[in-house]
Amino acid sequence: MHESYRMPRIVVDPDPLPAHRKRMSLGLRIGILILGLLLAVGLLELLHSGTAAFLLSLIKTVAMAFWSMFCSIAAACRDFMVKRLGMKCRKMGVIPSKADPDKQKEFLHNALEPLLEEEKQGKRRVFFVDAAHFVMGAFLGMLWCFERLFLKSSSGRKRYNVLGAYSVKGAEAITVTNNTYINSDTIVELLNTIKRLYPDAPITLVMDNARYQRCVKVMEMADKLGIDLLFLPPYSPNLNLIERLWKFTKKQCLYNRYYETFHEFKAAIDDCLDQVGTTFSEQVKTLLNPKFQLFKNPFTINRVQGFLTGLNRS
């Protein structure tokens, strides 16, 4: 017995266009339909009015039709970029041009992560140290409004310096502040403050390579107090958690706010930092979680104009 041979079933898609092209074609058809209807209305008006009124009505009709087509096409393109390509409208980020990704990766895996694991086990306290210089002026942010709004601004000559140390375990910030400069004496004061708060625990401070932090005076005091200093690779703000705290502070109490006096300006910053371990505890823990972004072959551009020109040529 020979088995009967059956032809394979071939299913033909009656409309092989992709979904995004279907939506775009639909938008074009709707736009053309609206254009035809509006032109018909314009012709009817010609029967009851003069030539000048007809031309005005025709211009209005064509403009409305093209606007409708533009909106339909724009909506289809936006839907295609978001749903099909996974694109989002993102704010550009900044990375230091001299940063070494390999050194950062090595530092993170071999030095920083083992220390954070010790802190997690209760064997050590690790503090991320950095200084912020808040200049009294206008910190402008984005907001929804019907017209452009303006924020009062002071001269910007007064500066409030905050030297801070942040610990992941306690989610707390220890600060030393002044209105002049951050120098080696300020660092020594911070070392003494941390040691006074944690006299029995092994302590490590993670900090950048500022000169006033790597000087002999600071190194000797750290050795005297039994505090270990761990210096970040050059140009590595992405590995210092406290950098995120400064951004949070600006967003919380400085953006789109005007302070009439320097005293009010300082009080707002101090009040925000004082609430890091209380009111803002959950927000800060989420923002300052010990997950670090490494830039291995990042997608960078020299200028937006050149980037867009390259896309148009490709």
Nearest-Å Rg of the Cα atoms of the chain is 31
Q: What span, in angstroms and rounded, lies between the C-alpha atoms of 258 and 260?
A: 6
Pairing of strands 172-178, 203-207: unpaired
List of E strands, the chain: 125-135, 159-167, 172-178, 203-207, 227-231
| Contact assessment for residue 194 and residue 165, using Cβ atoms and an 8 Å cutoff | yes
Across the strands, what pairs with 161? 133, 178
Q: What span, in angstroms and rounded, lies between the C-alpha atoms of 121 and 115?
A: 10
| Closest CA relative to residue 76, chosen from 17, 23, 16 | 23
Residue with the bigger pLDDT between 82 and 55: it is 82
Range with the poorest average pLDDT among 23-27, 180-184, 200-204, 251-255: 23-27
Q: Please, which pLDDT band fits residue 2 given cuts at 50, 70 and 90?
A: very low
In the numeric block, which tokens belong to residue 40? 């018909």
The predicted pLDDT at position 78 comes to 76
Does the pLDDT value for residue 120 go beyond 60? Answer: yes
Find the length of the chain.
314
3-state DSSP call for residue 185?
A: helix
Fold of the domain spanning 101-141+154-287: Nucleotidyltransferase; domain 5 (3.30.420)
Taking each helix axis from N to C end, the angle separating 262-274 and 242-253, rounded to the nearest 10 degrees, works out to 130
Which amino acid is located at 216 in the chain?
V
The predicted pLDDT at position 306 comes to 45
* Mean pLDDT within 78-88: 77
Percent of the chain topping pLDDT 90: 46
Percent of the chain topping pLDDT 70: 74
Q: What span, in angstroms and rounded, lies between the C-alpha atoms of 16 and 19?
A: 9
Eight-class DSSP state of 130: E
Q: Please, which pLDDT band fits residue 178 given cuts at 50, 70 and 90?
A: very high
The predicted pLDDT at position 52 comes to 58
Sheet holding 125-135, edge to edge: 172-178, 159-167, 125-135, 203-207, 227-231
> In sequence order, what DSSP letters do the residues of 45-91 get, joined into one string?
HHTTS-HHHHHHHHHHHHHHHHHHHHHHHHHHHHHIIIIIS------
The predicted pLDDT at position 112 comes to 96
Tell me the backbone φ, ψ of residue 169, rounded to 5 degrees. -65, -50
The predicted pLDDT at position 307 comes to 43
| Contact assessment for residue 268 and residue 249, using Cβ atoms and an 8 Å cutoff | no
Does the pLDDT value for residue 189 go beyond 80? Answer: yes
* Mean pLDDT within 283-289: 89
Across all residues in the chain, what is the average pLDDT? 81
Tell me the backbone φ, ψ of residue 187, rounded to 5 degrees. -65, -45
Express each pLDDT in 203-252 by its tens digit.
999 999 999 999 999 999 999 999 999 999 999 999 999 999 999 999 99
Q: Please, which pLDDT band fits residue 39 given cuts at 50, 70 and 90?
A: low
